[in-house]
């Protein structure tokens, strides 16, 4: 009887071994769960690090000030351009005001001033002779024209005094007439430097 009980006890000890296997499986599951959590945490940390690395740095005060200055300068430039566009239509009026009209434009061609006809006695040994002479003078510009017109009485007087000193022969040959014109030109320019006469032209010459 005693021998039969021993196998029963042995069987009882063998029956208690399965709980040990259950504990080892539970421990393995816990380790797997912990490993999974560690992997997930590592992946999350790596993702967070990458996000922080790619995130643009916040603008500093100097950069903000520079951006604001550029924006202000752009606004001012735009405002100046708009003001310029508004003011531009007035430019033709200013140009038109500055541009002299055709009536006020200075003449570009030769300017001639007519001298009233002069009739004088000239020296002649045979008999008295009368000289009828009409002249025109060429001046440089409108200033000379105005000066010549203002001196007409003096010009006529100077021409008469000169002609009375001449004889008939002084008005016959071409060379003598050139000399007469040169002398009259010299006397006219001597009256007023502003006249600046360039030439004396004979319009009419008659001796009676």
Q: What is the mean pLDDT of residues 88-104?
A: 53
Q: What's the CATH number for 111-207?
A: 3.30.479.30
Residue 117, pLDDT above cutoff 90:
yes
Confidence band, pLDDT 50/70/90 cuts, at residue 3? very low
Write down how long the chain is.
208
Residue 202, pLDDT above cutoff 80:
yes
Nearest 5 degrees, angle CA 135-CA 136-CA 140? 150
Secondary structure (DSSP) of 69-103: HHHHHHHHHHHHHHHHHHHGGGHHHHHHHHSPPTT
Instruction: Encode pLDDT of 129-138 as tens digits.
Output: 899 999 999 9
Confidence band, pLDDT 50/70/90 cuts, at residue 203? very high
């Amino acid at each position: 009887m005693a021998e039969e009980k021993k196998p029963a006890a042995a069987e009882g000890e063998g029956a208690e071994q399965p709980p040990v296997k259950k504990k080892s499986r539970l421990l393995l599951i816990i380790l797997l769960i912990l490993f999974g959590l560690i992997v997930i945490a590592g992946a999350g940390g790596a993702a967070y690090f990458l996000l922080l690395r790619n995130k643009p740095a916040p603008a500093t005060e100097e950069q903000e000030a520079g951006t604001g200055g550029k924006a202000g300068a752009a606004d001012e430039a735009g405002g100046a351009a708009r003001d310029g566009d508004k003011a531009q239509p007035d430019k033709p009026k200013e140009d038109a005001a500055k541009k002299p009209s055709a009536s006020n434009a200075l003449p570009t061609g030769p300017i001639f001033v007519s001298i009233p006809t002069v009739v004088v006695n000239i020296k002649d040994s045979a008999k008295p002779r009368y000289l009828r002479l009409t002249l025109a003078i060429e001046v440089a510009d409108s200033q000379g024209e105005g000066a010549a017109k203002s001196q007409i009485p003096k010009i006529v007087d100077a021409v008469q005094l000169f002609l009375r000193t001449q004889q008939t022969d002084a008005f016959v040959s071409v060379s003598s007439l050139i000399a007469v014109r040169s002398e009259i030109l010299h006397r006219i320019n001597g009256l007023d430097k502003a006249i600046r006469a360039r030439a004396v032209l004979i319009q009419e010459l008659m001796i009676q």
